[in-house]
Amino acid sequence: MDTHSIDHGIDDATREALEAAAFRRLVAHLQARTDVQNIDMMNLTGFCRNCLSRWYAEAAAERGLDLDREAARRIVYGMPYAEWKARHQTDASVDQQTAFARSQGSHG
HSE-up of residue 91 (Cα within 13 Å, Cβ side): 2
Residue 97, pLDDT score: 87
Mean pLDDT by 10 residues, the chain (108 residues): 67 95 97 95 94 97 96 97 95 88 67
| Residue burial 55-80, b: 16+ Cβ < 10 Å; e: rest | ebbeebeeeeeeeeeeebbbebbeee
pLDDT of residue 5: 60
Q: All domains of the chain, ordered by start, with CATH?
A: 9-102 (1.10.3340.10)
pLDDT at site 1: 47
